[in-house]
Amino acid sequence: MSETSAQPSTLRSLYPPIEPFVTGFLDVGDGQSMYWEVSGNPDGKPVVFLHGGPGGGAQPAVRQFFDPAAYRIVLLDQRGCGRSTPHVADGADLSVNTTDKLLADIEALREHLSIDKWMVFGGSWGSTLSIAYAETFPTRVTELVLRGIFLLRRSEIDWYYNGGAGNIFPERWDKFLEPVPEAQRGEDLVAVYHQLLHSEDPDVAARAAIAWSAWEGSTSYLYPQADKIEQNSETRFALAFARIENHYFVNGGFFDEGELLRKSSALHGIPGTIVQGRYDVVCPATSAWALHKAWPESKLVIVDDAGHSAMEPGIAHHLVEATDSYR
């Protein structure tokens, strides 16, 4: 089932802020320690939130997508970012940061918390990881709630990082290009940025990281949010976000081209909701439509007055409605 939704006359708001009742660090091998936390109802329905980026870290506000009386809400910071250690800004080894490793980390946390099955919630790269997790461990997933679908196909990467989205945000695209030498602006910019982000000159690396992260922060909302751009431009955050994200994109997400759609039969039998902004420039709606067609149990809601962010009013409304419907 699919539907198009303009902003409802009465918007659902997020649940009130809450704090975790337990936090911890899980040794997942390779010298990596993964931050995790649990909030809400200790006896509630388990749900795990998979953050975007990769490299973004889980923000406290995402706990508010879930009814705290109904859900046992699990958050984690993926390798190299957020509160997990070592942090990429401190020299974390990216060679042990792969999709398969992240999937194993999620499974290790599920077992550590003695959870049999859980709902999986993710947006943007979090949707990629959620789909990959559900395709790998379908018997461990009760439902999927996904937003801003990113299937990590080459066409999606090229759209956003090799000029397509620049036609919509030309003034911000120029800022994204600023760290790139003129002679290399016709090359694959993901590969060029890989060189810049790992420059031996820390100033070159930091400048590239801030430009990469600010590009995403400035294009993620239908109406740009200055605080989001500022947050993405903080050097420590930007170094982790840009280096991890670029590392995954240079490597095609460690997927074969089109792999997630080819394996979508593994999702059959899992109910789920896809919430997609019509004007999502970061992850255009074509990917959400392709996933919906390949996954018969999914419900697709296209929000006509929204961009990419989970915090767009119409998107947040439908995400809360989805989590409420699966309580």
Residues with catalytic roles: 124, 280, 308
Rg (CA), the chain: 19
Measured distance CA(32)–CA(95) in Å, rounded: 12
Output the CA angle 116-81-189, nearest 5 degrees: 115
Is the distance from CB of 270 to CB of 134 less than 8 angstroms? yes
Q: Provide DSSP, 212-278.
A: HHHHHHHHSSSS--HHHHHHHTSHHHHHHHHHHHHHHHHTGGGS-TTHHHHTGGGGTT--EEEEEET
Measure CA 235 to chain center.
20
Contacts of 187 (CB under 8 A, 6+ apart): none
